[in-house]
Structure 1
Amino acid sequence: MARTQKNKATEYHLGLLKGKLARLRAQLLEPGPGAGSGGGAGFDVSKSGDARIALVGFPSVGKSTFLSKITKTKSEVAAYSFTTLTAIPGVLEYGGAEIQILDLPGIIEGASEGKGRGRQVISAAKTSDLILMVLDATKRAEQRALLEAELEAVGIRLNRDPPNIYLKAKKAGGMKITFQSPPKNLDEKMVYNILRDYKMLNCEVLVRDENATVDDFIDVIMKDHRKYIRCLYVYNKIDSVSVDYLDELAREPHTVVMSCELDLGVQDVVERCWQELRLMRIYTKRQGVDPDFGEALIVRSNSSIEDVCDQIHRTLKETFKYALVWGASAKHIPQRTGLGHVVADEDVVQIVSAWKA
């Protein structure tokens, strides 16, 4: 099908509008330095524990009930909309880790335009390691689509990797735009126009993904305002739907099902959260003493011995000599390693340091 010139022109126009919209939205949600507080007190919950999970969902889908079941927190529970008005932190203890769970007030449609307490809800969601989207199994399609659109609008990208596009601003030299393979949805003129609109006149661009879209390109330009977070969709109230429908739901990717009322599957949700957070337990050992399996250090996946040192004490690296590692990541037992060695879940680590008197 030959594409007419008119469509091309419309596409450029839409591309520029998308870029402008993204820029204005970022200004709206993250007022620059020196701007007023923007009415109302914010709720900043200090980050604590080994990881943070944000619970998002429409009012009365059972977030607070879920929170009170898995943590020692009592959130106000009632069967009407907007019961929870501030962000309530709870602590979930699992596998020796303390995971902070934030019950964010039900996001209302329009939070991305700065309505309601939307802005604070969103900034709290952006700092979390995992988003738990609690949905009502009886209203699945519309709720999920609305929430995804809301989070998408404020720059939170769920279960996605950053676009495979390299962009580097330069001091001079104009624009250099390269495509690794001919892209299907972008062309040089479009990229040039969007960059010019963002006043990025000197830069280098390399598009490595042939399926990259205008939205992906804008995400790369706005990367300071974008957050790529894993999301787990949790369908509550499964006691109100048919078994066939439930089966279909449970097989969807990144999805778990439960019923808070009947106490079904709540523990499964907790286990899935642990898997999604990809945290690892590391046990430490002193020379000549058996490791203490009662107390674990919690580190992120792909952590190295260096991260383990930082977790123990920030000055430990200065006197570090070598580490001895027992466990899945060791080639032989024990393996003597340097700071760069990547540890695995439930490894035992002994740090040997050169004491400076």
Structure 2
Amino acid sequence: MTLTPAPLFEDVAGGPAGGAAHWMQTSDGLRIRAGHWRPEGEVRGTVLMFPGRTEYVEKYGNAAQAFVTRGFAMLAVDWRGQGLADRLLEDRRLGHVLEFTDYQRDVAAVVELATTLDLPRPWFVVGHSMGGAIGLRAVMEGLPVAACAFTGPMWGIFFTPVMKPLSWITANLAPAIGMGHKHPATTTLEPYVQAQEFEGNSLTRDPAMYEMMRSQLAAHPELALGAPTNIWLREALAECRALSDRPSPDLPCLTFLGSHEQIVDRKAVRARMARWPRGELVEIPDGEHEVLMEAPEVRDPAYDRMAALFSAPDQLQRSA
């Protein structure tokens, strides 16, 4: 792979010194972006950060700082259709994908870039929300990592009892009648953190982290993304169903779930972790969707537990 520099908005990322970003080309011809950071001195491995829907590299500058402080390099990716990666529709406010497995093309590009950059091994994956679904399929299909961790993984999407049947109708009927590129009626084209005040938000209980997210988009609106399309919803629901039928990978795994989770299906996460032989589920009291965007007293222990897991994957494998 030829290394092509890409922008990294260090004014808002808050990451460690020395970060850089590169463009990647996927096998189907899209341009996506990754940012990466390394600690000075001895490195214990590399974390591949798989963000959620609407997210972007700079949002994980704080995560990079946390992992670098603990001796790990980190790479984060802008998935197709978000961040600075190629958008798939003329209206760039809409999140879209043709097939959910297309994200695995992005994963392949990440692996190629990490290899070209000679990022220190062993590698580990941390997947948040949609990145948890992408990461789960990736490790099921042989992503070369020694252990994995997830926060609020999208292994099911939360709907109220009233909305659940309507969601299936919307996801399957709307594309059939030519409305696949429209967004569900309950969603907005404005980014969630800009449309929703801190009070009543479903992402974090930490006002400082919420303001960070808002400030990043205010400074760099080109990173912003709003509602998903009906096709994205159809493909996401189908992917959650397909993944639920498959056995858990033979890898050490740590998953964090907020007790107030309102975006992904808590039952689906608990069901998956109950049948992950070397997996552990950590439920965060009063936690919302974004464990790594909670207050320091919540997120720091989460980073500590992930670092402990990533420091001894071979020992965990031998003891299983």
Per the TM superposition, whether the score is higher than 0.5 is no
Say which structure is richer in helix. Answer: 2
Highest Rg: 1 or 2? 1
Shorter-chain TM-score range: 0.3 to 0.5
Higher RCO structure, 1 or 2 (CA under 8 Å, sep 6+):
2
